[in-house]
Amino acid sequence: MKAALVAAAAAVAIAIFLRARRRHLRAKKIAYINTEDAAKWHDQLEVFAAALRLPPEAFEKFDAFANEFPSAAALQRGEYSGVLLTGSHFSAVDPTLPWLDGLFASIRAAAAAPDVRVLGCCFGAQAVAVALGGAVGANPDGRFCYGVEEIALDGPRAARLLPEALPPTLRLLESHGEQVTRLPPTAELLGSSAGTPHEIFIAGGGNVLCVQAHPEFTPELMGARIAPALRDKGRLSAAELEERAAGMRQRPLHSERVCSVYRAFLLGEMPRL
């Protein structure tokens, strides 16, 4: 009887501690490092917020192209629960971009911070790779990747990363002309596709998660904002774009579930990977 009471008291104490920790973490903001300056993406923060089921006020925005970054001291003190690095039309290996060095320094500072989670999305994933010693280049097949990719998960950490009942292959939206061609030395691969060998990987001490795909996007958003530019620049024909659009509609995507992982990861509601 006494042992049962002690166990019950311990369970209550743990539950109280976890609730308090969640409240503490939610009081912190997510540093949103915006790497896209195109006017059509003026609301990209709101797009992410809706996908992650968080209010826009949960984020503090920094425009990387204006040399705005969270300070290394603030990151080290754990003033942010996480850092989100967005997609972009820029290249992470463009030597003419003067703000990339500041971005890479901020990524390294965030990756080294003990209480901060780092999420790199598309260009953000590529920037993380370069900052931590990996490499980025053009898609191996020379074609622009647009539409649905099937990503095969691999390794024990992939199961830990995606705790929900997910199939071994994820269907996610993608849009990129470049990709990670070599992982950083500390990285571990979690998922790959036919066209992108390094789709999902972790780095640092398990506090850095990078995903080439765009689970935060919808097919409608991609069709309205990305497809016209690809057509106008001659990267994909109208027939090819219609084929990709049809592919997006064929079977359900796993975007919502992956965004749930993003949310839990950035808020510190799941263990380091």
Chain segment 222-237, per-residue pLDDT in tens: 999 999 999 999 999 9
Give the integer Cα–Cα distance in Å for 80 and 27: 9
pTM: predicted TM-score of the whole model, two decimal places? 0.89
Regions of the chain where pLDDT drops below 70: 1-26, 161-166
Give the integer Cα–Cα distance in Å for 100 and 81: 23
DSSP SS3 for 93 = coil
| pLDDT at residue 213 in the model | 98
| pLDDT at residue 156 in the model | 73
First-last CA distance in the chain? 38
Give the integer Cα–Cα distance in Å for 42 and 19: 35
| pLDDT at residue 5 in the model | 55
Residue 214's alpha-carbon distances to 71, 111, 161, 199, 204, in angstroms, are: 27, 22, 17, 11, 22
